Amino acid sequence: MTTSRCYLIACGCLAVVLTQRVSMLTFAGERVTPKKLHIYVATYSAVEGEGIFRGEFDTSTGDILNLKPTGGITSPAAIVPHPSGKYFYATSSMDDDRGQSTGAVVAFAVDETTGEFTMIDRQSTGGTGPCFLSCHPQGKLIVIANCGTATVACLPLTNDGRFGNTSTVIQHDGQSRNSEGKPQAHSIQISPNGNFAVAADLGLDRLFVYRLNALNGTMAPHELKSVDLPQGNGPRHVTFHPSGRFIYVIGELGNTVSTLRTDVDTGETVLLQNITTLSQNFSGDSYAADIVIMQDGDFLYGTNRGEDSVAIWRVNGASGLLTTAGNTSCGGKFPRSAAIDPSGRFLIIGNQKSDQLQVFRIESKDGSIMPHGAPIPVPTPVCIKF
């Protein structure tokens, strides 16, 4: 894969981000999802000001309404909300002290009523081609993967959503074990308990494990340091089982999902399984992209760019192992990313090359998905999170 493809294809994550228009309500210990949520879509639109779209998502019907540009930022590869819902972060670029373009992350304040953005801060990511963001569950820090320079970074967050004064930047080093030819830090995901983060390096076929310090907003290499995946895998995105005991890694080049068991306290990680993302009868080129898991951990979903499908797996909650449950058409071309709405009833796919979102209704019994409504036009959607 060429460097340009790293930036234009491999670096983004379609991001549909839903933030709540009202706070989560709790009855008898059970969380209730509000009916209306703000939805945000990061895009690679070349039109000025169309980098992020905002709309409303109805959790009772699965409908997306009033989708329109917001934020005034151009072509973010990744976006992520602060857990409070008051702030929002997006990748961007800026000039460094020498006048050279470098990666940046932008902080926005969110209007709770309208969902509109106001930029409040911007900070360097310590590298080029920032392609993935993950926010600490307590909102103490944010971590970034820089695809271009194969670095990962950690920035502390202040109580008002801005960036602190210190940062950590760590270089990925090693010999490429696949066709990419060099290290590529492609994503970094924080564990559910916030104790550590796992970074997928697409060029090294390796996961790097980092310890997080929420008190001072820093990260450091874990004693384990890294876990090798099968050669040629090309790990792209990572998701944790809700229990925190298992990690699932989708491989862009190998079209596989790797299952790993991890210790929720120490972060020690062991590879258990590799399973294909593609249908048995598919032949041709395809590149796996995104991976998301149901809130109850029962089903896992991955997207295939080329086969243009959504792969479905049933998850064994005790062992973490996966069983293939089917492949369904994504309803468009080049499904870059996926997101499951907070109610757990709908899956949203961003089809980058057909300029659309497709909503699917999830069948809770077997995890199967059915298209819900017509595709929703949006230019080159590239990154999904809730």
CATH number of domain containing 84: 2.130.10.10
Q: Give the CA distances from residue 62 to residues 117, 256, 290, 348, 380, in Å, rounded to whole numbers and listed in that order.
A: 24, 29, 21, 9, 21
**Residue found by looking up tokens 């896992």 in the block:** 300
pLDDT over threshold 70, residue 344: yes
Using CB atoms within 10 A of its CB, is residue 175 exposed (0-12), middle (13-18) or buried (19+)? Answer: exposed
Q: What local confidence, expressed as pLDDT, does residue 61 receive?
A: 95
The number of C-alpha atoms within 13 Å of 157 and in the hemisphere containing its C-beta is 27
Which has more pLDDT, 152 or 116?
152
**Residue scoring higher pLDDT (63 or 26):** 63
Q: Output helix, strand, coil percentages for the chain, rounded to the nearest 5.
A: 5, 55, 45
pLDDT at 81 over 80: yes
pLDDT over 80 (residue 137): yes
Residue 251: count of CB within 10 angstroms of its CB: 28
Write out the two tokens for 343: 């109610």
Q: Is there a contact between 4 and 313 (Cβ–Cβ < 8 Å)?
A: no
Which residue, 369, 329, 327, is CA-closest to 346? Answer: 369
Domain enclosing residue 256, as ranges: 3-385
Q: How confident is the model at residue 16 (pLDDT cuts 50, 70, 90)?
A: low
The answer, yes or no, to whether residue 6 has pLDDT greater than 60, is no
* pLDDT value at 33 more than 70: no
Q: Is the pLDDT of residue 29 over 50?
A: no
Arithmetic mean of pLDDT, 289-307? 98
Alpha helices (H) in the chain, listed in sequence order: 3-5
Phi-psi region of 341 (alpha: psi -120 to 50; beta: other; left: phi over 0): beta
Nearest CA-CA partner of 241 in 222, 224, 264, 218: 264
d(CA 303, CA 338): 7
pTM: predicted TM-score of the whole model, two decimal places: 0.92
Q: Which among 97, 148, 103, 108 has a CA at the least distance from the CA of 125?
A: 103
Higher pLDDT, 265 or 186: 186
Residue 194 pLDDT greater than 80, yes or no = yes
Region 77-94: what's the mean pLDDT? Answer: 93
- CA gyration radius for the chain? 19
Determine what percent of the chain is predicted with pLDDT higher than 70. Answer: 91
Contact 235, 207 (CB under 8 A): yes
**Other beta carbons within 10 Å of 243:** 11
Q: For the chain, what percent of residues have pLDDT higher than 90?
A: 77
Q: In this predicted structure, which of 258-267, 294-303, 329-338 has the lowest mean pLDDT?
A: 258-267
Looking at residue 17, what is its pLDDT?
53
Which tokens is 100 given? Answer: 């050279």
At 265, is the pLDDT very low, low, confident or very high (cuts 50, 70, 90)? confident
Give the number of domains in the chain. Answer: 1
Q: How many Cβ atoms sit within 10 Å of the Cβ of residue 94?
A: 15
